[in-house]
Chain A
Amino acid sequence: MLNVSIYRYNPELDSEPYMQDFQVDTQGKDVMVLDVLEKLKTEDPSLTFRRSCREGVCGSDGVNISGKNGLACITPLSDAVKGNKLVIRPLPGLPVIRDLVIDMSQFYAQYEKIQPYMINNNPAPAIERLQSPEERAKLDGLYECILCACCSTACPSFWWNPDKFIGPSGLLQAYRFLADSRDTATEERLANLDDPFSVFRCHGIMNCVQVCPKGLNPTKAIGHIRSMLIRSAT
């Protein structure tokens, strides 16, 4: 039997959060953490968490698993269980709505701040805008972000200034548009990021890189943005 400890909090019933212990028979199988949550929910339907695709592409089920942020659906027990114990908490740093469900408004607000859409006011051609495979390759490692918030909620700078520091996820997307040969708003984008907080609160701790379930590297993207900002200032 696997010992599972889960963060519980229902604001309508509980004066404060608590950890609830469960025992789960996994029949020795190396299932995913989400499978364990689903099994527990059949027994206790009040257990609350988000999930959708169950294959690591929708970004719904970011949680803190035995101390590390990750997606429950693609984290096998073999990566998560320590001493026959699995501990599941909500992603840290953002308000908890209920159990493992957090309020992601601040995370989304930072994403929206970076103007996460193509800006190109030149008249569009009758076909696609051309882009070479090399130009397109610059978007690899950037566009794949699934907005799960594992990175930003693992970032001490984001915990400290969630309203002013864009955070690794938003900055990865900021660079996704800065790096796109089809986007023409580089100056405007850089000007919007050019303050002491938006980018420069990143201290290169690299928690974001360590936890990204898609293997992306926000720190590297932030480095590119810093260089662009410094270059545009001189």
Chain B
Amino acid sequence: MANIRTMSFDAVIVGGGGSGMRAALQLAQSGYKTAVITKVFPTRSHTVSAQGGITCAIASDDPNDQWQWHMYDTIKGSDYIGDQEAIEYMCQTGPEAIFELEHMGLPFSRTEEGRIYQRPFGGQSKDFGNGGQAARTCAAADRTGHALLHTLYQGNLKNETTFLNEWYAVDIVKNEDNAVVGVVAINIETGETVYVKSKATVFATGGAGRIYASTTNAHICTGDGVGMALRAGFPVQDIEMWQFHPTGIHGAGTLVTEGCRGEGGYLINKDGERFMERYAPNAKDLAGRDVVARSMVLEILEGRGCGPDGDHVYLKLDHLGEETLNAKLPGILELSRTFAHADPVVEPIPVVPTCHYMMGGIPTNVDGQALTIDKDGNDEVIEGFYACGEAACVSVHGANRLGGNSLLDLVVFGRASGMFIEKQLREGINLKDASEADIERAMEGLNRINHSEDGEKASVLRAELQTIMQNYFGVFRRGDYMKEGIEKLNALRPRVENVALEDKSNTFNTARIEALELQNLFATAEATAIAAEGRTESRGAHAREDFQERDDENWLCHSVYFPESKTLGKRGVNFTLKTREAFEPKIRTY
């Protein structure tokens, strides 16, 4: 018997980061009984680490800027597997969503005219690539994520959202119709396990950068939403697409914003050469992130890396002057001094491409409804289940996300999910109640860990997983290597399932949470590995040495990974724009 307490809500949002809190705000404002389940206090979510800004055509820097240009850049940046309908919606709705945040109090930096300050970021252009570099990223100094996350938390306090802070969602509860009717969650402080019942369950669980050994991501980015979805038998899309950010601090992995290059910084190799001029003669250091990251790795592999081991390059900022650096990049000065022991005012920062962002995730439509694929290959909505933000794949980033588009994705689709659920709740949602057995099923994983008797430590297994992913599924990939990596994952799986939990206490048991997170990391990593091996081409962030060309004939599509069969399917990319003809795939150069 599932002898646990039930709490009931109209809507439950799992994840208290940017997208979760934007969705929650929408629902709280509508008066529906809404709860946010978040494993950390909301302002400690990983959105807080976003630095450079939120890209959106608000026409501040350039009064003639157009959202259509932003749409073009994003589609090109995605290497043409971003869904054009979703990208159109994001770029068109973006300004409204940004102005709402400003009205809510977000302390954006300002221009002399009193408008929001915008800086150049990679992959940005005017006039559909013909008008030169645009400056379209709205910024609050280099702490935009912090400013955004705190503002959203404040907005939710004002609207009296219910927060279940330091609660951890364990698994999805499905009813007999395969619809999602809530989650089983643990109150971390007390250890109590509760069935959180809901008419609408939104996954805003963020990314999973911690599947790699070197990542800009917080410790908490463990792919909980992807893991839960996969265990519930739902597919994930484009999960092989991982962004390696060009500028993680060498050794520490902490992020150095692309805004540094937007403000005029550039990368140099050991000879002091500004090497991006060779790889991207027009955009140079502001080419797409995938392009810059690969160029850096090539410099290092060809012996032009910096430092005693030649294993990084330098980001030069000192020529911008102390005053500009203090005004525009104060957080970077702090981070570099702390983690690189380098003062950017006088010396360059050692940087290396570092795992940063999961472009793939739970496939959704523009309304945030999670999708699966039926046996005839058609999209099918999963009743009761929604996703937004990094956990979702709506897909606006395709094979490569542009800098500044993640924060926009968060607010636009958090908001869209909230609005759509509000409409559905108003019209009435009728899902069958979960049976005792349904709830029991969602507790199986937790029960197994709670009753573990032997097995290895979570920290040891996690480190092994991260090393496998780093070595076999990094910036450059090769079929035979990836097959070897998959074999290693297969060998690791039973050990992960048998993870030890020596400490069975209930009070704030972080060892239990880490054992559960490990399951999600593994599930995300395995899906990544199988999808990466299966996509036999190079596109965006997915660069294969054995298939170096983009293959539009076979792979101008999403990959869809099905967990039960561990197989890879395909799903069409949306090429239907409401406002104009679709953008046809072109060779992508910067």
Contacts and interface: CB of A to CB of B under 8 A. Distances in A.
Interface of A: 10-13, 41-42, 45-46, 48-60, 74, 76, 97-99, 101, 104, 108, 112, 115-118, 120, 124, 126-133, 135-136, 139, 143-144, 146-147, 177, 180, 182-183
A81 B111 CA distance: 45
B44 interface: yes
26 contacts: A10-B507, A11-B507, A45-B503, A45-B511, A49-B510, A52-B45, A53-B218, A54-B219, A55-B254, A56-B338, A59-B43, A60-B41, A74-B338, A76-B338, A99-B508, A117-B155, A126-B99, A128-B108, A128-B115, A130-B113, A132-B110, A136-B107, A136-B109, A139-B107, A146-B43, A183-B105
Contacts of B155: 117
Nearest to A144: B143
A11 B190 CA distance: 11
Interface in B338-386: 338-339
Contacts of B140: 143
Nearest to A49: B510
A129 B114 CA distance: 8
Given A55-B49, A129-B102, A42 B459 contact: yes
A157 B103 CA distance: 35
A75 B103 CA distance: 36
Contacts of A135: 110
Among B44, B45, B334: residue with most chain A CB under 10 A: B44
Nearest to A34: B219
Given A117-B155, A143-B147, A183-B105, A51 B219 contact: yes
Given A127-B99, A129-B102, A146-B146, A58 B48 contact: yes
B104 A52 contact: no
B105 A118 contact: yes
Nearest to B506: A12
A115 B46 CA distance: 24
Nearest to B114: A130
A131 B110 contact: yes
Given A52-B218, A53-B46, A118 B103 contact: yes
B218 A101 contact: no
B464 interface: no
Nearest to B189: A97
B97 interface: no
In the A-B complex, the 6 residue pairs with the smallest Cβ-Cβ separation, listed nearest first, are: A118-B105, A130-B114, A117-B154, A45-B511, A128-B102, A42-B459
Nearest to B510: A48
Interface residues of B, number: 61
Interface in B100-146: 102-105, 107-116, 140, 143, 146
A147 B459 contact: no
Contacts of A127: 58, 95, 99, 115
B189 to A, nearest CB: 6
A117 B157 contact: yes
Given A42-B457, A57-B48, A57-B146, A101 B508 contact: yes
Contacts of B154: 116-118
B49 A58 contact: yes
A131 B114 contact: yes
Interface in B55-98: 58, 95, 98
Given A118-B104, A118-B105, A127-B58, A98 B338 contact: no
Contacts of A131: 110, 114
B587 interface: no
A46 B505 CA distance: 9
A116 B157 contact: yes
A124 B103 contact: yes
B438 interface: no
Contact of A98 (B103, B111, B508): B508
Nearest to B112: A133
A64 to B, nearest CB: 18
A74 B116 CA distance: 31
Contacts of A57: 48-49, 143, 146, 331
A53 B48 contact: yes
B150 interface: yes
Interface in B451-471: 457-460
A45 B457 contact: yes
B245 to A, nearest CB: 14
B220 interface: yes
Contacts of A41: 459
A104 B58 CA distance: 39
B495 to A, nearest CB: 16
Among B43, B109, B140: residue with most chain A CB under 10 A: B43
A12 B502 CA distance: 15
Given A45-B503, A53-B46, A53-B48, A58 B218 contact: yes
A234 B87 CA distance: 56
Contact of A42 (B58, B143, B460): B460
A45 B108 contact: no
A46 B502 contact: yes
A133 B110 contact: yes
B514 interface: yes
A51 B508 CA distance: 13
Contacts of B458: 45
B335 interface: yes
B103 A128 contact: yes
A42 B220 CA distance: 16
B40 interface: yes
Nearest to B154: A117
B508 A117 contact: no
B517 to A, nearest CB: 12
A182 B105 contact: yes
A117 B510 contact: no
A56 B114 CA distance: 30
Interface in B149-169: 150, 154-155, 157-158
B43 A147 contact: yes
B218 A143 contact: no
Contacts of A118: 103-105, 154
B283 to A, nearest CB: 28
A115 B104 CA distance: 13
A129 B102 CA distance: 7
Nearest to B341: A30
Contacts of B109: 133, 136
Contact of B114 (A76, A132, A143): A132
A56 to B, nearest CB: 7
A128 B459 contact: no
Contacts of B254: 54-55
Contacts of A177: 105
